[in-house]
Amino acid sequence: MNSKRKGESPSVDENWVVRPVTGQAARKAYLCPSCRQEISAGVPHIVAWQDVWPYSIEDRRHWHTSCWRRTHPSI
């Protein structure tokens, strides 16, 4: 997955790594863990994972941007 724009680094806060995914980079559909609704291909969204053991990038989840902001307001 290469959703990171050139020169853009993911933000890391409160043990989460958070990366924006552009609509152009969103090439397939995902299920948002918050609302359980589909994030369609082509829709900008957030990909995030916890940066603490035992979690890793393999545990990343794709979120609607609004769902992420609602459930993680301080990040």
Helix, strand and coil content of the chain, in percent to the nearest 5, comes to 15, 30, 55
Residue-wise pLDDT tens digits, 30-63: 999 999 999 999 999 999 998 887 778 789 999 9
The rounded Cα 35 to chain-centroid distance in angstroms is 14
What the block records as the tokens of 60 is 């990343």
Of the listed ranges 1-5, 10-14, 63-67, the least confidently predicted one is 1-5
Give the amino acid at 17: V
> What confidence score (pLDDT) does residue 13 get?
57
pTM: 0.76
Say whether pLDDT at 1 is over 50: no
N residues, the chain? 75
